[in-house]
């Protein structure tokens, strides 16, 4: 009996290690910003690590998670880490999103995914749902639900990603083409 359990555990660990060894990349999808402009997922890449937070106006755990996301946005921005927020509210409740964002003081970019296409492509089934994407488009972490410890883990993963892929700052003169 002991050997069967040990062999089963080894098999599970082997499968898990194999899955972790092959990093997944950010899939292709489109989002729409609050002004109706479309964005391709590929446009999110190449600027450092990114946390994609899926939420809904009716989701109480999403509201509880908001201070953690704001803190990530405020502290990470200087280092090259970005946060974007994606509402999965359906088309009927989309008119509530802009006032919600304003009331909550959300300063990071907010997008819409009313058909939940991006949410599904990333493996989401509930909200809040967070996907941490590395500098080269690899998915570093996926979390569902609200847990205080998530922000600490994200900070560790972001620090490791930034160490491996430092974000290049563009000098003011370079950005103007001078």
Beta-strand relationship, 129-133 and 139-144: antiparallel
Q: What are phi and psi of 49, to 5 degrees?
A: -65, 155
- DSSP tag of 15: H
Predicted pLDDT of residue 178 = 43
Q: What is the pLDDT of residue 88?
A: 97
One digit per residue, pLDDT tens: the chain, 178 residues? 555 565 455 545 444 443 443 349 999 999 999 999 999 999 999 899 999 999 999 999 999 999 999 999 998 888 899 999 999 999 998 889 999 999 999 999 999 999 999 999 999 999 999 999 999 999 999 999 989 899 999 999 999 999 999 876 544 444 444 4
CATH superfamily of the domain spanning 49-163? Glutaredoxin (3.40.30.10)
State the Cα–Cα distance between residues 72 and 66, nearest whole angstrom.
10
| Cβ proximity of 72 and 39 under 8 Å | no
**Could you give the 3-state DSSP secondary structure of residue 143?**
strand
Q: CA-to-CA distance for 8 and 50, rounded, in angstroms? A: 36
DSSP secondary structure string for all residues of 95-133: GGHHHHHHHHT--S-EEE-TT-HHHHHTT--SSSEEEEE
Contact 31, 112 (CB under 8 A): yes
pTM: 0.81
Domain residue ranges of the chain, discontinuous segments joined by +: 49-163
């Amino acid at each position: 009996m002991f050997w069967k359990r040990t062999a089963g555990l080894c098999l599970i660990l082997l499968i898990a290690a194999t899955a972790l060894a092959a990093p997944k990349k950010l899939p292709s999808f489109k989002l729409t910003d609050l002004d109706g402009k479309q964005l391709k997922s590929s446009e999110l890449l190449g600027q450092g690590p990114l946390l994609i937070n899926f939420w809904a106006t009716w989701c109480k755990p999403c509201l509880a998670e908001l201070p953690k996301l704001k803190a990530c946005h405020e502290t990470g921005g200087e280092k090259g880490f970005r946060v974007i927020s994606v509402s999965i509210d359906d088309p009927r409740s989309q008119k509530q999103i802009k006032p919600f964002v304003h009331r909550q003081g959300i300063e990071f970019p907010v997008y819409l995914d009313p058909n939940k296409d991006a949410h599904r492509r990333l493996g989401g089934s509930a909200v809040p749902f967070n996907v941490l994407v590395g500098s080269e488009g690899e998915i570093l972490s996926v979390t569902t639900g609200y847990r205080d410890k998530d922000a600490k883990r994200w900070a560790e993963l972001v620090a490791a990603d930034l160490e491996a892929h430092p974000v290049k700052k563009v000098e003011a003169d370079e950005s103007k083409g001078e």
